Homo-oligomer: A and B are copies of this chain.
């Protein structure tokens, strides 16, 4: 790739040509940074990078990007097939046409950088197979945790270690909502409205608040951590719409805070993995508890490294563009030396265990009759399902009598069955709060 001796960006060096698919919030920022720091990119890659085309949905729209307007095209399919494109950046999102465009790009020998979590978690295998077949790179740091380096540390830095558990706050919208509920005592709807006003939540917040976004990211993280193919549909998913002010208050009473966690963990015998997204209480002194507002963080427990945490802005145009461009530099360098980065590693092919078999622990608040024998009947309901109680405490008297139970670890199925049984007990007037507890250790 060039005959030069010392300086990499002489005029006789062929630049690498980039096609950008999508020019929304992230794409605009990618263009701005590519143009502004052109010389830095050339120095870091070894050859100049040239923006050769930008595919957009609608032509003629006024765009605030400092490039030749002739670069814009509405024909993305023709752009990726042009034959002279070395690198393709996909920031359209969604399944189609993103998938077809990425596949066409790989077939044409281009390396691809994508931020598309939904596509990777639904059909990553097809994309990775195509990259493998055509000897191209497929990088996706921006798909999880925005600017936070996560993919690369999991795929490369921890490649000599054994990950046991990944616990992540990977959705900024829900973290913002839960943080507001915690700090201001507001209910879910009110906190969501505030998030929408501030631009942290979309007009249709379903993908975020129902946990779909986090589930796609959980699938990607689980696949990397355990060298196993995991789909978004493998992930047990519960959103935050049913989290109440009572739940938040119950968490506070036991020194915890409620977070929407994406969890991927090896089963105790190492035979399978559990992957799940749900709200959970975590102790306030856990490193994840201090992740405020719309920030993201991923906490990793591994055999040799111990506990690691990665923290930063999980979304937004500039942070996502930072991750995209970090990948772009790597795939461009690989291209210069005709090499490829680490391919998808799924050699372990562990079974994904159903949620019912996953070991969890529950925090349960019950409104009960304040009379002798109630505790005995409640305790019996737990023991019938083989669930062991760690602590139980009574709060209030008479009309306000509450029992608060925290269990030891048990199969989630047994815990759920226990809650059903409790609802049937005469002495239990209402199950007022049920939530899993994480970060207390395996007991």
Give the interface segment out of A247-255, A306-314, A384-392, A408-416. Answer: A306-314
A43: contacting residue among B43, B308, B347, CB under 8 A: B347
A161: contacting residue among B158, B308, B322, B338, CB under 8 A: B322
In the bound complex, residues from chain B placing their C-beta under 8 Å from that of A306 are: 147, 312-313, 316, 318-319
- A290-316 contacts to B, CB under 8 A, are 290, 302-313, 316
Q: How many copies does the complex hold?
A: 2
Please measure, in the bound complex, the distance between the C-alpha atom of A237 and the C-alpha atom of B159, giving whole angstroms.
35
Is A44 part of the binding interface, using a Cβ–Cβ cutoff of 8 Å?
Answer: yes
Is A373 part of the binding interface, using a Cβ–Cβ cutoff of 8 Å?
Answer: no
Is A148 part of the binding interface, using a Cβ–Cβ cutoff of 8 Å?
Answer: yes
In the bound complex, residues from chain B placing their C-beta under 8 Å from that of A342 are: 330, 333
Please measure, in the bound complex, the distance between the C-alpha atom of A278 and the C-alpha atom of B366, giving whole angstroms.
53
| Known contacts A152-B157, A337-B339; is-contact A345 B44 (Cβ 8 Å) | yes
Is A62 part of the binding interface, using a Cβ–Cβ cutoff of 8 Å?
Answer: no
Q: Which of A227, A304, A318, A347 has the most CB of B within 10 A?
A: A304
Q: A159–B325 contact, CB under 8 A?
A: yes
Is A374 part of the binding interface, using a Cβ–Cβ cutoff of 8 Å?
Answer: no
Is A439 part of the binding interface, using a Cβ–Cβ cutoff of 8 Å?
Answer: no
Is A221 part of the binding interface, using a Cβ–Cβ cutoff of 8 Å?
Answer: no
Residue of B nearest to A141 (CB): B157
CB distance from A424 to the nearest CB of B (A): 44
Please measure, in the bound complex, the distance between the C-alpha atom of A321 and the C-alpha atom of B311, giving whole angstroms.
23
Residue of B nearest to A41 (CB): B160
* Number of chain A residues whose Cβ lies closer than 8 Å to a Cβ of chain B: 59
CB distance from A146 to the nearest CB of B (A): 8
Is A287 part of the binding interface, using a Cβ–Cβ cutoff of 8 Å?
Answer: yes
Is A245 part of the binding interface, using a Cβ–Cβ cutoff of 8 Å?
Answer: no
Is A324 part of the binding interface, using a Cβ–Cβ cutoff of 8 Å?
Answer: yes
- A76-93 contacts to B, CB under 8 A, are none
Is A261 part of the binding interface, using a Cβ–Cβ cutoff of 8 Å?
Answer: no
Please measure, in the bound complex, the distance between the C-alpha atom of A345 and the C-alpha atom of B303, giving whole angstroms.
32
Please measure, in the bound complex, the distance between the C-alpha atom of A303 and the C-alpha atom of B32, giving whole angstroms.
12
Please measure, in the bound complex, the distance between the C-alpha atom of A162 and the C-alpha atom of B318, giving whole angstroms.
12
Is A326 part of the binding interface, using a Cβ–Cβ cutoff of 8 Å?
Answer: yes
CB distance from A341 to the nearest CB of B (A): 9
Q: B33–A160 contact, CB under 8 A?
A: yes
A positions within 8 Å CB-CB of B: 29, 33, 37, 40-41, 43-44, 141, 146-149, 152-153, 156-162, 227, 287, 290, 302-313, 316, 318-319, 321-330, 333-334, 337-340, 342, 345, 347-348
The 9 closest A-B pairs by CB, nearest first: A160-B325, A339-B339, A147-B305, A149-B157, A304-B322, A159-B329, A149-B153, A305-B322, A308-B312
Given contacts A149-B158, A160-B328, A306-B318, 19 further A-B contacts (CB under 8 A): A29-B304, A33-B160, A43-B348, A146-B305, A147-B304, A156-B326, A158-B326, A159-B326, A160-B325, A161-B322, A290-B290, A303-B318, A304-B318, A305-B319, A305-B322, A307-B312, A310-B310, A310-B311, A330-B342
A-B contact pairs, 25 of them (CB 8 A): A41-B160, A43-B347, A43-B348, A147-B302, A149-B310, A156-B329, A158-B326, A159-B326, A160-B329, A161-B322, A290-B290, A303-B318, A304-B318, A304-B319, A304-B322, A304-B325, A305-B319, A306-B318, A308-B313, A309-B309, A309-B311, A309-B312, A310-B311, A330-B342, A339-B340
